[in-house]
Chain A
C-alpha cells in the first residue's frame, strides 16, 4: 500500500493575540519576509457594522446604555467592540481578601480598539528603578536601547505632542498638538500658579495625514472606533499591512490552550480551541510569539505543562504570574462656575485630553517613591445618560427651574485622573486556580492583590493635588454620592456593581486602570526572570513574549507605546536570528 504522509503546514511564526504587541509583530515579521499565522480568540473587526461613530444617543432606543440599562457607565453601546469586565463562559477568580478586575477583549485588535491613545515614552530612569531609588529591579535594557524603536513606532502610527524637555518624560517624533479646550486653558492657568507642569498631551491620533491615513476630524469619539482610521488601533493600522504581504493568516475564534513542545525541546505547535466547532486544533510554527495580554500570556505559559517543564513553559524561574502590577489610579471631579459663561461652541476635539500633567516632581524628595501623571476630561461633551443625576439630586424639585439648572450645570465639570507607578509586591500575582476551568476546560487564573504603602501614599498625594488644582482654578470639589434607597436593598445599582469596578475614592481596584502587566518579566538572570533582554524565553529559545508581560516595572506612562516598541525590537531580533539560522 502506498504510504501518504500528510504534509502539515508549518508557518514561520505563530502569533497569539492581535492587539498592540501581536499586531506590531505581525507587521514587522511579515514585512521582513516571514510567514505568520495569528490566533485571535474573537472575530474579525468589521468597522462598518461595529463602529458607532457619529451616532446620536437618540438614534438608539436605549440611548447608549444598552438593554435594561446594563451598559451604564464606562461601557456603552457607542463603544467600539472592545471587551468586557466579565466574559461569559470565561471566569477568573480572586483569592479571599483580594479584589481584582480583569478587562479582556475578544476581537481583532484587542484592547487597542478602545484604548485612550495615550502614547507616552518611558523615561531613562524608568528602566533603572533600582539604580534610582534602591527598590525593585532594573530592566535588562536601557532607554537608549529602546529609543530607536519608539522612533519607529511613532513615525509609523502617528503621535501628536510637543517638544518640552520634561525630565524623564522624553519627547518623541511628534505631529502638531491640537489647541487646548476651554477646560484645559482653565486648568493650565491653575497649574502654572501651582508650578505643576501642564503641557500638550501625547496621543496616537493624527492631526495631519500620515502613511495613507487621513487626519482627525475632531469629533471626540475615538473610543467608538474611527472610520477614517485617524487614531491608532492594531486592527486598522497593524493588521492590514501584514495582510497585504500575502504571508499572513488570521485564525479567528481561536482560544489558545497550550504551547506544544517538539521532541527537540523547542515549541513546535500551539493547540487551540476552535470556538465554532468546539474542537481542539493545532497550528504548527517554527517560533511562537505570545501576545495574548499580560495575564492571558502568563496563563497560557502556566497551562503549557510538560514533563520537561512541570511548572509551565518558560517558568523554571517560577516568576511567571508574579510581579503583577496595575497603575495606581485615583480620581476627583471639580465643578467650575466660570464655565457656565462659556458660549455654546464645538468643544469635542480629539477623543481624549489635549493637555496633561506629566510627573512634575521628578528627582525631588517626596514622601513616596516614583511618580504619577494627571489626565483630565470634561466640559461640553456630547450629553449622555447619567450626566444630570447629580444636579437633579442636588437641585431637587422639578419643572422649568430644574431644566434650567441642568443647562447651567452642563459642561462645567472637569474630572482629574492620576496614573501612578505601582511597585511590585509579593502579595500581588496571578496563578492557575486549582479547580475552576473555563467553558472549554482550560484552567483559569486566580488573582491575589494588595496595594502597597507606597501606592496608597501616592494616591493620597493625587487627591491632595487634584483638590488644590480644582480650588486654585476657582472650582469646588464635587463630593457626590447618588442616593441610596431607604431600606437595606440597594436596588438599581447592585447590577452595575457586579458589571464593573467602582471608580473614584482614594485608590482604584487592582486591574481597573487596565494597565495590568509584569507577569512574564524580563531579565538577564534566568533564575529571576522568564524572558531575556529580547523577550525570548530563557528556557525555550523559539518562544517570545510581545505584550506588557515582560515589563520589569510599571512606570506612570501608559504601557501601549512601550508594548509596541518592545514588540518591534523583539520582531527585528527574531528576523535577525532567522537570518543567522539561530531559530
Chain B
C-alpha cells in the first residue's frame, strides 16, 4: 500500500506515455502527482498527537476504551494503533454535536465505577471493567433499566466512532482485506466463488 510502490510507478509512467506529445489535454504529469501525494504524507507525519478536546485523564480513558472496543488480536493491531483516539478527539474538538455523547459517557463510566467499586474505570480490575461495559454494550439493558438509556446510546455512539477510526486506518483496511486503490492495466473481474 505504499504510495510509491513499483507497480504504481510503472503504470503511471505508461499512462503518461500513452498521451501523445503536444496533447492539449490536462493530464497531470507523473511528477506533479507524486509531489501532491507527498505533501499530504508530510502534513500527516508532524510528530506525536496532542489532544485538542479531551483532558489528559479523559484521553487516557478514551484510548483504553478504543482498544477494548476494537482490540489487537492475532490478525492485526487494535483501534489505538489504528489512530482512532486522535480521529475522535480531532472531530470532537470541531463539532459540539460529538462532544456531548462522548464526554457524557466518559464521565458516566467513571462515576458508575466509583459508585460501585470505589475506583475510576481505569483503576478497576478487568472483571469490574467488563461488568460495567456489559451494562452499556446492549440495548436490551436500557429496556430493563431506563437510567441506562443515555449511557447505552452514548456507548453506541463511541463504538461507531471507534469503528470509523479503525477501519479507515492502514491496519484496519488491511485487516478487512481491501486490495484496491492501485493501478491495473486490466480489470480481472470476479475470482471463482461458490454461489456467486
A residues apposed to B, CB below 8 Å: 45, 47-49, 51, 53-65, 67-70, 178-182, 184-186, 209, 212-215, 217-221, 227-230, 235-237, 240-241, 243-244, 338-339, 341-350, 380-389, 392-393, 396-400, 402-403, 406-407, 410-411, 474, 483, 485-486, 491-492, 494-495
Q: Given A214-B27, A344-B179, does the pair A56, B153 have CB atoms closer than 8 Å?
A: no
B63 within 8 A of A: no
Asked whether, in the complex, the Cβ of B178 is within 8 Å of the Cβ of A342, the reply is no
B71 touches A185 (CB 8 A): no
**Subset of 7 A-B contacts with CB under 8 Å:** A51-B28, A180-B190, A229-B27, A380-B180, A385-B164, A392-B160, A397-B137
B16 touching A56 by the CB < 8 A rule? no
B176 at the interface (CB under 8 A from A): yes
Among the listed B8, B73, B187, which residue makes an inter-chain contact with A218, where contact means beta carbons less than 8 Å apart? B187
Taking a contact as CB atoms under 8 Å apart, the answer to whether B170 and A58 are in contact is yes
CB contacts (< 8 Å) of A392 on chain B: these are: 156, 159-160, 163
Q: Given A54-B3, A396-B138, A398-B69, are A69 and B95 also a contact pair (CB < 8 Å)?
A: yes
In the complex, what's the smallest C-beta–C-beta distance from B178 to chain A, in angstroms? 6
Are B18 and A214 in touch, CB under 8 angstroms? yes
Bound-complex Cα distance A229 to B27 (A): 6
- Those of B79-128 within 8 Å (CB) of chain A: 83, 86-87, 90-91, 94-95, 97-98, 100-101
B contact residues, range: 35 or more
Q: Which residues of B have CB within 8 Å of A241?
A: 24-25
Select one of B24, B73, B188 contacting A243, CB under 8 A: B24
Decide if A399 touches B1 in the complex (CB within 8 Å): no
Whether A338 and B196, one on each chain, are in contact in the complex, defined by CB atoms closer than 8 angstroms, is yes
What residues of chain A lie closer than 8 Å to B68, measured between beta carbons?
398-399
The answer, yes or no, to whether B9 is at the interface (CB within 8 Å) is: no
Q: A343: nearest residue on chain B (CB-CB)?
A: B191
A400-B71 in contact (CB<8A): yes
For B25, give its contact among A49, A212, A393, A486 (CB under 8 Å).
A212
A64 near B168: Cβ-Cβ < 8 Å: yes
Complexed CA–CA distance, A485 and B156 (Å)? 10
B145-182 vs A: 1/0 string, CB under 8 Å?
Answer: 00001100100110110011111111011011111111
Q: How far apart sit A227 and B11, CA to CA, in the bound complex (Å)?
A: 13
Q: How far is the CA of A388 from the CA of B168 in the complex (A)?
A: 10
Q: B41 contacts A495, CB within 8 Å?
A: no
CA distance A406 to B168 in the complex (A): 12
B interface, over-half SS: helix
| Residue numbers in B under 8 Å from A411 (CB-CB) | 176
Given A48-B36, A347-B180, verify A185-B18 contact (CB < 8 Å).
no
Q: Which residue of B lies closest to A48 (CB)?
A: B32
Q: Is B135 on the interface with A (CB-CB < 8 A)?
A: no
Query: Contacts A51-B28, A214-B19 given; 19 further ones with Cβ under 8 A?
Result: A51-B36, A55-B40, A59-B40, A59-B44, A61-B86, A64-B168, A212-B20, A213-B27, A218-B184, A218-B187, A228-B16, A341-B195, A344-B178, A349-B187, A381-B180, A399-B70, A402-B69, A411-B176, A483-B139
Residues of chain A lying within 8 A (CB to CB) of residue B180: 219-220, 346-348, 380-382
Known A-B contacts A67-B94, A69-B91; A237 and B196 likewise in contact (beta carbons under 8 Å): no
CB neighbours of B184 from chain A (8 A): 217-219, 346, 348
- Closest-by-CB residue of A relative to B69 is A398
Q: In the docked arrangement, what's the CA distance between A65 and B160, Å?
A: 14
With a CB–CB cut-off of 8 A, which chain B residues contact A396? 137-139, 156
Chain B contacts of A49 at CB under 8 A? 36
A388, closest chain B residue (CB)? B163
The answer to whether the Cβ of B56 comes within 8 Å of any Cβ in the partner chain is no
Residues in A whose Cβ lies below 8 Å from that of B15: 214-215, 217, 228, 230
Q: Shortest CB–CB separation between residue B113 and chain A, in angstroms? A: 16
